[in-house]
Structure 1
Amino acid sequence: MKKKLIFGAALLLSLGLAGCGETEKDSKQPVQADAEKSKEEAQKSKILTVGDSAESKDAKFTLKSVSTTDARNQFDETKPNQVIKVEYELENLSDSELPYGMDLTVYDGAGNKMESYALDNSMGAVASGKKVQGVQHFGIMDGGKIEIHYKPVISFDDPAVFEAEVK
């Protein structure tokens, strides 16, 4: 009788501890997921500007500067009022090469998408763990506030949005 009682108590204690261990493990996972979501949401809601960085799982993008340029492409037929030069740094955080050069989109203050302007624009691929200093030009109709959206070509994530003032 004593052996059955001891065996039963040991069995209940084992099941109780096993249940506690799973509960603790399960309760930690959602907290980590919630913390990661909160970090992503905070980054998305934050207004980024020149000098700020946005990080995804594959890349870290830093907007270095936005300026106007007098340089023009003699063969371009769009004839924008201004051409802006967007300079950035891109760090590859992935395990494979990361293509770049088609990952920026610019919108004017009215929300109109601006066209890429054919000047000395950066395009290529950066090796895993390496950085590249890139340049992209866009034709805009008028100065003022613009939005620059960065989204890696091979990503399904939402773009990082930067705001800049063009004078």
Structure 2
Amino acid sequence: MLRSMLKLIFAKLLPARAGETPFWDGIRLPGGLFAQTRCARRIDATARRIADMGMKIGTLSGRLNAGSIPGMVDADGSLRRMLCELKDDLAVMRRDLALWRTRECRGQAGQRLEAAIAHLNRIAADTHAAADQLVRQIEEYDKARAHCGS
């Protein structure tokens, strides 16, 4: 649609001379570039949300290390279940993103999109590792609190 609109604009602004083909006839517009930029922006927004989750996980982990949380952190196990679900969601997201890149981009994307995908993968991997570590910390913390009786 964008290509046809641009051709119309060029046709109005630069009318072709009789018998000549317009200069824009062989021009190929970078339609995929616009789509890739839009995808990269969405991927960057997702990466920011995941990074925020990672910071919250890091904050709780720091509080556990400092021992500043009285009593048990997760007596009913709901926080650990949510962290495990987050880890599963991150793994599925990374897998789906790799499949999408292979299917839609045929393994080759523009520099901006490749950078966004790589950035999201790094953040997702770091957040997955932080969530895994926090699950272990919570188990150890609650086990120690249950053993001490406080």
Provide TM-score, normalisation by structure 1.
0.30
Provide TM-score, normalisation by structure 2.
0.33
* Higher share in helix: 2
Which one has more relative contact order, counting CA pairs under 8 Å at least 6 apart? 2
* Higher share in strand: 1
